[in-house]
Amino acid sequence: MALAEAVAKWGVVVVAAGRGTRMGTAESKQYLLLRDKPILVHTLETFETMDEIAEVCVVVGQQDVERCEGWIPQYGLHKVKSVAAGGSERQHSVQLGLEALSGDVDWVMVHDGVRPFATHRAVRACMAKAAATGAAVLAVPVKDTIKQVNEGGVITATPERRSLWAIQTPQAFRRSLLQRGLRQAAADRFVGTDDAMAVERLGVPVSVAEGDYTNIKITTPDDLPYAEFLLASRERGRRADT
């Protein structure tokens, strides 16, 4: 990274406004306890302990703003400078989070509130790739053969696996670039499934930084036992380093 980029100020928008139905619980998945803390808190602690991160904005449902604000002092989340109420779609929530960050934040990462296992190594790799190219996402190569299937349940194509990557978060961008992409998407009434799509639509290349298969998104009940296993493995690793 050039010196000017090395001292750039990084902010993070953690998106946790969705309710989700696949978990099958009355409580939203981001607030379910993983060991003794909400999943969202584990996610926020990833960035709390990174010196490169200046500030974090958490975007949640309007009804959850107050309790999440209470977690800031409870869990020592000093880098969480704001808790914002989200919009009707993910990209609306991201836009609101970007607006809540300080004006001198040059670079941003957007991260799922239910991905608590992003490693510092992977996050830094994504940051470095974005600083070099303007936009980057974490991803892992697809392991399985992927089939394209039509509405009748018939296979129509088998894409070459070597060109397929499973996209994760964080996704990192020059802040002004992501804001421009989101404004254009709103003007076109386009709603994407991830943040990079808004930038891709501008004709701007988005690079890939290789992440970890353990950077899972906790979405269904089947994910919870694996999340417990990953958390226990991480804690054992920390004890072995001391």
Angle between helices 120-133 and 39-48 (to 10 degrees): 60
What pLDDT was estimated at residue 21? 60
In this structure, is the dihedral angle defined by the CA atoms of residues 153, 158, 159 and 161, taken in order, positive or negative? positive
Contact 215, 19 (CB under 8 A): no
Edge-first strand listing for the sheet containing 165-174: 80-85, 53-60, 10-16, 107-112, 165-174, 135-141, 207-210
DSSP characters over 115-147: -TT--HHHHHHHHHHHHHHSEEEEEEE--S---
Classify domain 3-136+167-241 by CATH number.
3.90.550.10
What pLDDT was estimated at residue 34? 93
**Predicted TM-score (pTM) of this structure:** 0.91
What pLDDT was estimated at residue 235? 82
Contact 148, 158 (CB under 8 A): yes
Q: Which residue is it, tokens 């957007």?
A: 110
What pLDDT was estimated at residue 22? 62
Per-residue pLDDT of the chain (242 residues; tens, 9 = 90+): 444 445 689 999 999 987 666 665 677 899 999 988 999 999 999 999 999 999 999 999 999 999 999 999 999 999 999 999 999 899 999 999 999 999 999 999 999 999 999 999 999 999 999 999 999 999 999 999 999 999 999 999 999 999 999 999 999 999 999 999 999 999 999 999 999 999 999 999 999 999 999 999 999 999 999 999 999 998 877 655 54
What pLDDT was estimated at residue 18? 77
